[in-house]
Amino acid sequence: MTDVLTFTEGRVGRIRLNRPKAIHALDTGMCAAMLDALTAWRADTAIEAVLIDHAEGRGFCAGGDIRMIAESGAGDGASARDFFRAEYQLNHALFTYAKPIVAFMDGITMGGGVGISQPAKFRIATENTRFAMPETGIGLFPDVGGGWYLSRLPGHLGEYIALTGARLNGADCLALGLATHFLPADGLEQAKAAIAADPQAIATALDALSAAPGETTILEHRAEIDRLFAGDTLEDILAALAADPGLWAKEQLAILATKSPQAMKVSLHLVRQGRHMPSFEDEMRQEFAVASRVVQRPDFAEGVRAVIIDKDNAPRWNPSTAEGVSDHVIDQIFAPLADDEQWEPR
């Protein structure tokens, strides 16, 4: 079975993720296949738009091939770097694509799924959408352009989502601009058929089929998020949460207590830096340097062990506290790579 299907339908290029047992998690080969298709369609005047969706299963895309990345990171890290290089080239190609792209975020859309949906001009959420960047729970950080997208959310929502791994529903995604449209899941095939019939009228078709998204869950805590996640440092944010008497703050503090302190500091720095990145290419170059180093640090191996392999959900982070993660370590992680090791777009 081919893990990603690429084909044309009328004047539309179709990319369909087809790895349902892994909730369509991306591997190096899938990224390369998608990138090859995009490259071919870019110069093909018969193709006017690109549509990205998934085959059977309960999710659009649950992320990347974490087990492979962890196994590589425990060694020389070469295969992990190869994956990130290909994945980020795909992310960048989608971001800079001249033809309109439509991504259907139906179901679980996490990590790598965020990376292939957020660059799209049209991003469709449904009642099944579960959007998250949960990487701090396994010692990673919200990559695939997360530093760019999260930093551009209003207020301090980016910091909150990056640190806690908060899960957003379809209504949340629409409210925050992470989705451009909300469609009921049973209307998606009609939308795809309409786009294939007239790729010059995508917005009109999606507008006509859009539905009321229901209640958002994140905006009711917007004031608390902006107040409690505004601190200059992770220590400041933790102190603000600890000092707040409200139940919501206590819940967030408990969530952060389960996350890697190193990963949280990396993620906070990434979002804060992302606000000043001059281009998406610069963002991806930065994230590649960070990813190359983080996957070979102890917290990533430990996070994968605790959450994915042993499933005891009892990671032993090292350092175990925010104070134990020095500014020097963060500076090392974010330092530019040597010229011959750097990421470049394809």
Q: Give pLDDT, residue 196.
A: 97
Q: Give pLDDT, residue 58.
A: 82
Specify the pairing of strand 59-61 against strand 108-110.
parallel
Q: Give pLDDT, residue 56.
A: 86
Q: Which CATH homologous superfamily contains domain 4-341? A: 2-enoyl-CoA Hydratase; Chain A, domain 1 (3.90.226.10)
Q: Give pLDDT, residue 107.
A: 97
Among 72, 101, 97, 100, smallest CA distance to 84 is for: 72
Q: Is the peptide bond before 319 cis (omega within 30 degrees of 0)?
A: yes
Whether pTM exceeds 0.95: yes
Q: Give pLDDT, residue 64.
A: 94
Going by C-beta distance under 8 Å and a sequence separation of 6 or more, which residues neighbour residue 40? none
Going by C-beta distance under 8 Å and a sequence separation of 6 or more, which residues neighbour residue 250? 241, 244
Question: What is the DSSP code (8-state) at residue 63?
Answer: -
Instruction: Please state the domain extents for the chain.
Output: 4-341
Q: Give pLDDT, residue 16.
A: 98
Q: Return the active site residues.
A: 64, 112, 135, 143
Q: Give pLDDT, residue 63.
A: 93
User: Are 88 and 288 spatial neighbours (Cβ–Cβ below 8 Å)?
Assistant: yes
Q: How far apart, in whole angstroms, are the C-alpha atoms of residue 31 and residue 288?
A: 15
Going by C-beta distance under 8 Å and a sequence separation of 6 or more, which residues neighbour residue 106? 53, 54, 60, 124, 126, 128, 129, 185, 188
Q: Give pLDDT, residue 57.
A: 81
Q: How far apart, in whole angstroms, are the C-alpha atoms of residue 81 and residue 292?
A: 6
List the end-to-end C-alpha distance of the chain, in Å, as a whole number: 27
Q: How far apart, in whole angstroms, are the C-alpha atoms of residue 4 and residue 15?
A: 7
User: Are 180 and 123 spatial neighbours (Cβ–Cβ below 8 Å)?
Assistant: yes
Q: Which residues of 275-314 are buried (b: 16+ CB within 10 A; e: fewer)?
A: eebeebbebbbbbbbbbbbbbbbbbbbbbbbbbeeeeeee
Instruction: Collect the ranges in the chain with pLDDT lower than 50.
Output: none
